[in-house]
Amino acid sequence: MSCGGLALTERTLGSYQLLRPLAQGGMAEIYLARPLGPGLPDRRVAVKVLSSGRAADPEARAMFLDEARLVALLDHHNIAAVLDVDVVDGNHYLAMEYVHGADLRELLAAAQRGNTPVPFEAALAIVAAAAAGLDHAHRRCGPDGAPLKLVHRDVSLSNIMVGYDGAVKVVDFGIATTTITSVPPAPGVVRGKASYMSPEQCLGNEVDHRSDIFGLGVVLYELTTGTRCFHGKSDFDRMLAVVKSDYLAPSDLVASYPAALERVICTALAPSPDRRFASAAAMIDALERVARDHGWDAGAGAIARLMYELFGEPTEPAVLQLDDAPVTEPHALLTLAGAPTRPARRLARDTAPDRFDDDERTRGRGALRRPGQRRWLAA
């Protein structure tokens, strides 16, 4: 049997029963699964499997295991947890917490279809929750007590999941840098999504946790305006817009946009890291002050109400046999494979072609260079 590039003779992988495919990307496939064995809870998990085509690449294997080791060290309710990691018959996989909901790209697409702006209070709650998870990651130390100096490097709409219950989870630490990374970033190699990378990341310079704060600023901008922050016809053009800080002020796009909220965004998007918030916790404090001053209920309740308005009453994830036609869930964990799925790309293209089609991670050698840079929509 073959499913999504993973050749299986059984419907199991290690201690998990694979129920159905969720997503397929350039680096990995994702399956809805459940644990096997007596006494184990019948819970749904997401099993991420390194693509067979990448399994022979030592660097790809090392990055995959780095991600598993790293996320296993993190313990925060706003980060999707790694439950297990193993290699079975040459298949590298990790089991992760399953998030029953939608990523922010899907959320914004649904809001646009329904002509429903995301309420400020819900947007602030989502970004503050994601910032809390990232703050935990930024401050985390390794087993030896030394700081990990973790930088996610891929904070974007597609890597923040929102559950129907209002839970918010940061996902996909696949290109994160830490002191325990076995594959250190090569000088001049740019990894990330063009519209969400910080200026220093676009230029191939050294980055720290403040690069993730820039990404949070872009996410907050797009949630509250419903519009892309940095535009361009290519990755090169978008990266150039980032470096030049070329974006419209939110108040130019939305009438009566709160001035205090605009100041938070401007601080997060400051071209120089020294002018941004010193930490994700400092950004949370600023968001909480804005919410408090406006009397907004910026909590999980506001997020859950928005999810209900956009998606209706949630249903349990469907379970299909692996030999049925692969189907992707439109409102489930679809982004951990390191790339949007084809159905997700079609959804974005049909609803907002120039706004939330979500760039591919740029993996070009040399900052702001055109060669080797592609877009997901090219397919």
Q: What is the DSSP string of 259-323?
A: HHHHHHHHHHT-SSGGGS-SSHHHHHHHHHHHHHHHT---SHHHHHHHHHHHH-S--PPP---TT
Strand ranges for 115-219 from DSSP E? 160-163, 168-170, 192-193
Among 304, 155, 294, 313, which residue's Cα sits nearest to residue 219? 155
- Residue 147 vs residues 136, 140, 185, 206, 276: alpha-carbon distances, Å: 12, 6, 18, 17, 21
Q: What does DSSP assign to residue 103?
A: E
State yes or no: is 359 an active-site residue: no
Contacts 24+ apart (CB under 8 A), 82-91: 83/45, 84/14, 84/15, 84/16, 86/14, 86/15, 88/13, 88/14, 90/55, 91/6, 91/13, 91/49, 91/50, 91/52, 91/55
Calculate ∠ Cα 326-332-335, nearest 5°. Answer: 85
Among 226, 220, 298, 315, which residue's Cα sits nearest to residue 264? 220
What's the full length of the chain, in residues?
A: 379
Of 66, 103, 135, 154, which is the active-site residue?
154
Rg of the chain over all Cα atoms, to the nearest angstrom: 20
Cβ atoms of residues 337 and 128 within 8 Å:
no
Question: In angstroms, rounded to a whole number, what is the distance separating the alpha carbons of residues 41 and 35?
Answer: 7
- Per-residue exposure over 288-306, b if at least 16 CB sit within 10 Å of its own CB, e if not: eebbeeeebebbbebbbeb
Question: In angstroms, rounded to a whole number, what is the distance separating the alpha carbons of residues 264 and 217?
Answer: 8
Among 197, 51, 79, 203, which residue's Cα sits nearest to residue 135? 79
Active site positions, annotated:
154
